[in-house]
């Protein structure tokens, strides 16, 4: 199979890896009730494993990305897949809450972060055309996690105890992720002798990692991604509870979250197509503005139909903008450091995701309403929009001199 066709195999492998990895981690909410009933552990304590997981994902993203740049994404995602399966299996044997928090939160978060940055960097490196669509399809695979792995977890819980269900999920992780990891290959430009980087891979092969991480472009992308994720993480985690406080039945309120996820699948593909046509930066900036408006929209809704309308817009937009960060990295930095740079932006995003749930809980406990959460999310979202607007691509070199440091004769 030639490279032009095999690049879509890389996209499929990335979508599968992301779906299973993210799904295994985000299946935890399904386990909270049976675990609390069986062990006597508090729901807050069990749920905090997710916050630890977000922090672990953020802190480990740069490291995994740098290792992928050095050793190739296949080795890293294979290690991550095996570590994820082992971590889930160990979590199933936890005998105390603190043990579960450390194993599931720290180790599962660490393992999951080995998938995102390396795969986004690899897929972005395989594509010179349809790049936004390609990374958006990988992201769409990750977005399928709540629609696939969560129902699987619920089905297992209905038939087995929570420990056995976790063990079976570990088996699923090995069975699906390891074969997908073995399909991953380096982008052709890096697989070539000498790892030659094409001219359109960034501003030039002379850029060092130290210069890249100090550049305004990298700092702006990190700040934008942090604010972007801080904008939507609070609403994602608290809107179901907010809807319940508005008098909507609990099971019906959950459907609002499900609709956000379904809309997000369409958003990822649509934003990918728009990014290829109008440019990743332009679409990202516009999307961040709409995301801020969507967050604020929740402040004004009270009825189920209104919640559905805002959820569709909000989910479509916040999911759609996320893959565009990888595209901007690919367009502005050398291919050989994609994992490191994307890992840095992913770290900022994970920290933003960790902030939202805590802030939302504090706002409700302090003011007995979620209203200020959505006002604050709107403000942070406008901040993300303004920061992204300042992004300026690196200037493109017109030509590379044949004799570096020598004047033309």
The DSSP symbol for 195 reads: G
Tell the CATH superfamily of the 1-187 domain.
Answer: MFS general substrate transporter like domains (1.20.1250.20)
Q: What is the dihedral of CA 71, 74, 75, 78, to 10 degrees?
A: 160
Query: Tens place of pLDDT for every residue, the chain, 409 residues?
Result: 667 789 899 999 999 999 999 889 888 877 877 888 899 888 778 878 888 888 898 889 889 999 998 898 999 999 999 999 999 999 999 999 999 999 998 999 999 999 988 998 898 888 888 888 888 888 888 878 777 887 888 888 889 999 999 999 999 999 999 999 999 998 887 765 544 444 444 455 578 888 999 999 999 999 999 999 999 988 988 888 899 889 998 778 878 888 888 898 899 889 989 998 999 999 999 999 999 999 999 999 999 999 999 999 999 999 999 989 989 998 899 888 888 998 899 899 988 988 887 788 888 888 888 999 999 999 999 999 999 999 999 876 544 444 444 444 3
Q: Which of 88, 105, 97 is CA-nearest to residue 43?
A: 97
Nearest to 87, CA basis, from 71, 64, 110:
110
Tokens of 83: 């570590």
The Cα 127–Cα 13 span in angstroms is: 15
What pLDDT, on the 0 to 100 scale, is given for residue 42? 83
Tokens of 106: 């720290």
Q: Which residues contact 224 (CB under 8 A, 6 or more apart)?
A: 284, 288, 325, 384, 387, 388, 391
3-state secondary structure of 183: coil
Cα dihedral 288, 293, 295, 300 in deg (nearest 10): 180
Query: For residue 211, with 0-12 CB atoms within 10 Å meaning exposed, 13-18 middle and 19 or more buried, which class applies?
Result: exposed
> Residue 196 gets which letter from DSSP?
P
DSSP per residue, 84-115 = HHHHHHHHHT--SHHHHIIIIIIIIHHHHHHH
Extract the tokens encoding 5.
């066709």
Interatomic CA distance for residues 50 and 138, integer angstroms:
23
Can you read off the two tokens belonging to residue 148?
């696939």
How far apart (Å, rounded) are the C-alpha atoms in residues 231 and 351?
12
Residue 406 has a pLDDT of: 45
Asked if 267 and 123 touch (Cβ cutoff 8 Å), the reply is no
**Between the CA atoms of 124, 129, 135 and 141, what dihedral angle is there, to the nearest 10 degrees?**
-130
| CA distance linking residue 326 with residue 339, whole number of Å | 10
Provide the CATH topology of domain 201-393. Growth Hormone; Chain: A; (1.20.1250)
Q: What tokens were used for 26?
A: 């985000």
Count, residues in the chain: 409
DSSP-based three-state secondary structure for 305: helix
**Helices marked H in 193-337:** 209-214, 216-245, 250-278, 280-300, 304-321, 324-332
How many Å apart are CA 103 and CA 81, to the nearest integer?
15
Sequence spans of domains, the chain: 1-187, 201-393
Helices (H) and strands (E) counted in the chain, each on its own, are 18, 0
Which own/partner contact pairs does 374-379 have at CB distance under 8 Å and 24+ positions apart?
A: 374/234, 374/235, 374/295, 374/296, 374/297, 374/298, 374/299, 375/296, 375/299, 376/234, 377/230, 377/231, 377/232, 377/234, 377/235, 377/292, 377/295, 377/296, 378/231, 378/292, 378/293, 378/295, 378/296, 378/299
């Amino acid at each position: 199979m030639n490279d032009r066709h095999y690049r879509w195999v890389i996209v499929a492998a990335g979508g599968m890896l992301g779906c299973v990895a993210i799904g295994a981690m985000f299946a935890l909410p399904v386990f909270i009730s049976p675990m609390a009933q069986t062990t006597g552990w508090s729901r807050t304590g069990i749920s905090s494993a997710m916050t630890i997981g977000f922090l672990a994902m953020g802190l480990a993203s740069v490291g995994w990305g740098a290792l992928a740049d050095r050793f190739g994404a296949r080795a890293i995602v294979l290690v991550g897949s095996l570590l994820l399966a082992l971590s889930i299996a160990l979590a199933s044997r936890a005998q105390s809450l603190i043990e579960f928090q450390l194993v599931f939160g720290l180790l599962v978060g660490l393992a999951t972060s080995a998938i995102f940055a390396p795969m986004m960097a690899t897929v972005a490196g395989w594509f010179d055309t349809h790049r936004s669509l390609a990374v958006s399809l990988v992201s769409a695979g990750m977005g399928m996690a709540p629609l696939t792995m969560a129902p699987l977890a619920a089905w297992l819980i209905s038939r087995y105890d929570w420990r056995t269900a976790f063990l079976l999920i570990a088996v699923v992780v090995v069975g699906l992720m390891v074969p997908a990891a073995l399909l991953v290959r380096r982008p052709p430009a890096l697989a070539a002798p000498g790892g030659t980087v094409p001219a359109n891979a960034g501003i030039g092969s002379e850029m060092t990692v130290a210069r890249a991480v100090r550049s305004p472009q990298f700092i702006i992308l990190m700040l934008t991604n942090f604010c972007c994720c801080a904008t939507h993480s609070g609403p994602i985690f608290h809107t179901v509870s907010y809807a319940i406080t508005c008098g909507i039945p609990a099971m019906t309120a959950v459907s609002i979250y499900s609709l956000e996820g379904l809309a997000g699948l369409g958003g990822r593909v649509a934003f990918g197509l728009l990014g290829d046509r109008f440019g990743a930066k332009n679409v990202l900036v516009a999307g961040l503005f709409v995301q801020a408006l969507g967050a604020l929209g929740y402040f004004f809704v009270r009825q189920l139909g209104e919640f559905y309308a805002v959820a569709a817009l909000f989910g479509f937009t916040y999911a759609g903008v996320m893959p565009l960060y990888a595209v901007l990295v690919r367009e502005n930095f050398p291919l050989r450091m994609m994992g490191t740079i994307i890992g840095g932006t992913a770290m900022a995003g994970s920290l933003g995701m960790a902030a939202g749930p805590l802030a939302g809980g504090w706002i409700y406990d302090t003011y007995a309403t979620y209203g200020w959460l959505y006002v604050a999310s709107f403000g942070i979202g406008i901040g993300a929009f303004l920061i992204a607007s300042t992004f300026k691509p690196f200037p493109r070199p017109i030509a590379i001199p044949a004799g570096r440091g020598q004047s033309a004769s």
